[in-house]
Amino acid sequence: MQNVTLWGETLRLLVELSATAAFALSGILEGARKRLDAVGVVVVGFLAAFGGGTLRDLLLDQRPFFWVQHVGLLWGVLALCVLAMLFLRTRHFEVTERAIQWPDALGLGLFTASGVHQALLLDLPGLVAVLMGLVTGVAGGVMRDVVCNDIPSAFRGHRPYTVCAFAGGWAYVGLWSAQAPGWLALVACVSITAGLRGLALWRDWQLPQWRL
């Protein structure tokens, strides 16, 4: 049994690290495309990777921030930025973007679950908990795009992203209220979010457009 828990923890850590890397890479690519200088690329990478979780902790008044507890994460993303600047060329951009779609979808689910979880621990209502999950999963990308002077792709892409996290978040809230074990809620939230996101990409689902 202990072995299973250990495996679970290791798996979770792996997903978390690869998701953080995927989020950071999305920022690095965006910064490079906008022809920012080295500092700008690093900052946008950091915003994409840590912005959402930081805003959640700020709203929930949680200290220390997760990146203060795990300073290694900061060093890791810094190293990733340097490596990307040394080795990533324009011709790699498209490949990288496709390669990070899966870790990104898994990360969206995991980050959403972590936001919902923290809010539920503070006895906040279901809708607020889901909102905190969305903030954790999506706000980093929004900051990335705002700083790069774009309308956030999450709001304009017409491809379900936030909506998948919304569904996953409610799954977490529902299972938590039903007092299901924590790992079950986590797995449900991640698999629903990432599953829906995968389906949306595969079947090219579109959000309903505003009928003007």
**Binding site residues, a second copy, CB under 8 A:** 31-32, 34-41, 43-44, 54, 58-59, 61, 63-65, 67-68, 71, 74-75, 85, 89-90, 124-125, 127-128, 131, 142, 146-152, 154-158, 160-163, 207-212
> Looking at beta carbons, which pairs linking 195-204 to residues 24 or more positions away fall under 8 Å?
196/160, 196/163, 196/164, 196/167, 196/168, 197/105, 197/108, 197/109, 197/160, 197/161, 197/164, 198/102, 198/105, 200/159, 200/160, 200/161, 200/164, 201/101, 201/105, 201/159, 204/159
Closest distance of CB 102 from a second copy, Å = 21
Closest distance of CB 151 from a second copy, Å = 5
Amino acid at 73: L
Closer residue to a second copy (CB): 14 or 199: 199
Closest distance of CB 203 from a second copy, Å = 17
Closest distance of CB 63 from a second copy, Å = 6
Closer residue to a second copy (CB): 12 or 66: 66
Q: State whether the Cα torsion 14-49-31-94 is positive or negative.
A: positive
Helix axes of 101-121 and 162-177: crossing angle, nearest 10 degrees: 40
- Cα–Cα distance, 42 to 28 (Å, whole number): 7
Closer residue to a second copy (CB): 15 or 74: 74
What are the Cα distances from residue 144, in Å, to 32, 74, 112? 12, 17, 18
Closer residue to a second copy (CB): 15 or 167: 167
- Cα–Cα distance, 89 to 200 (Å, whole number): 29
Closest distance of CB 184 from a second copy, Å = 26
Closest distance of CB 183 from a second copy, Å = 28
Closer residue to a second copy (CB): 155 or 183: 155
Closer residue to a second copy (CB): 61 or 204: 61
